[in-house]
Amino acid sequence: MSRLIQWATLQAITSSNDSHNLALLTLHNVLINIPIMSSSQPRTFNPPNVPLPPPTYHQVSITPLLPTSRLITLAGMTGCDPSSSSNPSTLPEQAPIAYSNILKSLAAAGATPRDIVQVKHYIVTKTGDDKVDALDVVDRGWAELWCEFMDQEAGGHRPPDTVIGVASLAKRDILYECEVWAVVSGEA
């Protein structure tokens, strides 16, 4: 079955609130989307507990750097709730869900937030809310939430980051996206 057909089928399954369908989705991701790692080739997959992306990419990539280290790159994580496939309406509501998706994706790759070596935050500049739009993107509430997340999950680790104001993201209701890279030691 092509990845496009799989994605469309799984989107139909996840649009239902039926717990049986969600269990099937989880089993599908575990059995289909986690390929065996070859020696030096990147391995990409979708963790079963984060939103399924469109067929153009996977959420997680693991690349062996040396015989004992791996580079892990995550797709931009958004505030899409995996259980409802919807985004809350404000950035301060979306950011914690994005951070939860980061935590789950890192765990699926054998990493923790302490292993993060680089972060990119993408913030939509024009939200339609004049009060919010008047603020610089660094002052829209996500930074405090990021620091709280990193304090709790990574002992205050502060990897380098870049903050980018953008006109839009993949969907109109996405106001925030966070992309991280991590490096871990040890065999996969």
pLDDT in tens, 30-87: 444 444 444 567 788 999 999 988 777 889 988 888 888 999 999 999 999 888 889 9
Residue type, 112: T
Please give the structure tokens belonging to residue 161: 């980051």
Band (pLDDT 50/70/90 cuts) for residue 14 is low
Residue type, 114: R
| Per-residue pLDDT, 66 | 81
| Per-residue pLDDT, 68 | 84
Other CB atoms within a 10 A radius of the CB of residue 53 amount to: 16
Contacts of 176 (CB under 8 A, 6+ apart): 78, 79, 91, 94, 95, 98, 121, 122, 123, 124, 142, 169
| Per-residue pLDDT, 106 | 98
Cα 9 from Cα 13, distance rounded (Å):
6
Evaluate the CA torsion angle 147, 150, 155, 161 in order and state its sign.
negative
Summary mean pLDDT of the chain: 84
Fold adopted by 3-185: 60s Ribosomal Protein L30; Chain: A; (3.30.1330)
In tens, the pLDDT along 82-117 reads 888 899 999 999 999 999 999 999 999 999 999 999
Evaluate the CA torsion angle 179, 11, 82, 107 in order and state its sign.
negative
Domain ranges of the chain: 3-185
| Per-residue pLDDT, 82 | 86
CA 83 to the chain's CA centroid = 15
Rounded to the nearest 10°, the torsion over CA 120, 121, 125, 130 is -160
